Chains A and B, each alone.
Chain A
Amino acid sequence: MLTKFITSVSARFSPFNSRSGKTARNFLALLPPNARSTMTIDVQMLGRNAAAEPASLALKFKDGKEMSLDIEKMKIKDIQVEVDRHSRVLRRKEELAG
């Protein structure tokens, strides 16, 4: 997954939800080791009782695009595809400009 163009990640989920919790945690595990220095990461974890509450994952990119991903339905592969689709556009722009 191309994480170079992400500037902000905000996630709100309960790890006890087997669907959204797993997806959100997998996404956070895909961020590189120096992610905290290149982007702002805001993680809010809910408890066990709040497992059924709606979870959210919102991203911001360098060009200002905001992407809110439905982690209730999407799996980590789908999220990768979505993020990469926009990141590739940004990468091409950067290559042409630079």
Chain B
Amino acid sequence: MPPRIRLRTQDVLTRRTDYICLSCRHTYASLATTPAPSLSQTTPAPPIHRHPRNQPPSYKPPEFRKSQLHRQYQSLLRSAPLMLIFQHNNLKSTEWMAIRRELASALRKVDEDLAGQGKQDLMAGDGVKIQVIQTGIFASALRVVEFWNPDFSAKPQVAEIHPTDPATPTSGPVPATTATPTDPAFTHGLSTSAYLTAKKNRRLKHGLEPLLSGPLALLTFPTVTPQHLKAALSILSPSPPNFPAPRRRTNPSYHEPAVQNGVQKLMLLAARVEGRVFDLEGTRWVGKIEGGLDGLRGQLVAMLRSVGAGITNTLEAASRSLYVTVEGRRGMMEEEEEEKGQGVTEAGQ
């Protein structure tokens, strides 16, 4: 019968054992003592976490598509300070493709202009993205982002004693040692507390409620850039005086039927700029800011400078009038002195 435990022949051949004399072998075995348990073995092991650190419990099953979309929309809402909300009325995929192509080329042109001016840090055209969203999930994600403030300093509410502690009485029922799903220490957007907070505060309004129905698409910008917004508006929702559509001569591909039909079916509804809701007019106002945020800062500096000049004039006026008065008085006194001096000399003569 072959041996039950299979040893690799190589191992058997190369195994080297130190020589121990047969008569001494038993003595050595009897002298061997068990080593004292190490510190980590004496203290109780921490309880096994039911949820890994990177997989905290979520309210809805995390493997569902809607959970992942919810998470994705939350991250989008937190990372995009400027987003436009469009309604798309039955656009075909070729039309979407054509619109995306035109949008990308227009934004690339803006980036090239900015690079020409040496403003490489403002180039954000690559991050601008138009995407169709699931409206209901987006509405829920928006409520979580707006109204849920997770407590990042909260400690998980677990029992003080746990079953591996030797001091724990073994006869009674042992309390649960892992955090419950409703624990405020879970600070992720899919947690139960996030869901409940977003659902509970029905009275709180973020201003976009009437818009969140029907087929929606989002155009998201990674930064608030009026230049890129202007380019995007002139492609997606052209309105002649401020946001004219590109001319047929300069950009013939914009006037292809696929793009034109698609643009007609996109309706700009509103914008969300740094958490605030803007309607159509407000969106165009943001896009109209000349020279982007730098232009706005320049305007502010010019305004403050004129105010500063006014203040210095006002503050100077008092001292200046005092100076003029004192000078006038000195002149008068000098004249009097001269007159007196003349009178004295005349009397002396």
Q: Residues of A with Cβ closer than 8 Å to B?
A: 15-18, 21-22, 25-26, 28-29, 31-33, 35-36, 41, 43, 45, 47-49, 51
| Interface-centre pick from A26, A28, A31, A43 (highest chain B CB count, 10 A) | A28
Q: Is the CB of B279 within 8 A of A16?
A: yes
Chain A positions within 8 Å of B215 at CB level: 29
Size category of the binding interface on chain B: 20 to 34
Asked if A36 meets B265 with Cβ closer than 8 Å, knowing A18-B209, A29-B214, A29-B215, the reply is: yes
Q: Is the CB of A26 within 8 A of B214?
A: yes
Chain B positions within 8 Å of A43 at CB level: 267
Q: What are 6 of the A-B contact pairs (CB < 8 Å)?
A: A15-B211, A26-B213, A29-B87, A29-B89, A45-B269, A48-B277
Selected from B87, B261, B280, the residue in CB contact (under 8 A) with A36 is B261
Chain B positions within 8 Å of A16 at CB level: 210-211, 270, 279
Q: Is the CB of B89 within 8 A of A31?
A: yes
Q: Is the CB of B214 within 8 A of A33?
A: no
User: Cβ of B91 < 8 Å from any Cβ of A?
Assistant: yes
Nearest B residue to A36 by beta-carbon distance?
B264
Selected from B91, B210, B264, B281, the residue in CB contact (under 8 A) with A21 is B210
Docked complex Cα distance between A45 and B215 (Å): 17
| Binding site secondary structure of chain A | mixed
Chain B positions within 8 Å of A18 at CB level: 209-210
Q: Is the CB of B280 within 8 A of A22?
A: no
Chain A positions within 8 Å of B211 at CB level: 15-16, 21
**Cβ < 8 Å to A, chain B residues 263-295:** 264-265, 267, 269-270, 277, 279-282
Q: Is the CB of A15 within 8 A of B270?
A: yes
Q: Is the CB of B265 within 8 A of A25?
A: no
Docked complex Cα distance between A51 and B210 (Å): 10
User: Cβ of B90 < 8 Å from any Cβ of A?
Assistant: yes
User: Cβ of B92 < 8 Å from any Cβ of A?
Assistant: yes
Chain B positions within 8 Å of A45 at CB level: 267, 269, 280
Q: Is the CB of A25 within 8 A of B87?
A: yes
Q: Is the CB of A31 within 8 A of B209?
A: no
Chain A positions within 8 Å of B90 at CB level: 29, 31-33, 35
Q: Is the CB of B269 within 8 A of A15?
A: yes
B75-90 CB mask vs A (1 if < 8 Å, else 0) is 0000000000001011
Minimum C-beta distance from B339 to chain A (A): 76
Docked complex Cα distance between A19 and B281 (Å): 21
| Interface-centre pick from B92, B209, B215, B280 (highest chain A CB count, 10 A) | B280
| Interface-centre pick from B89, B90, B209 (highest chain A CB count, 10 A) | B89
Docked complex Cα distance between A14 and B113 (Å): 36
Docked complex Cα distance between A97 and B215 (Å): 38
Minimum C-beta distance from A48 to chain B (A): 4
Minimum C-beta distance from B79 to chain A (A): 25
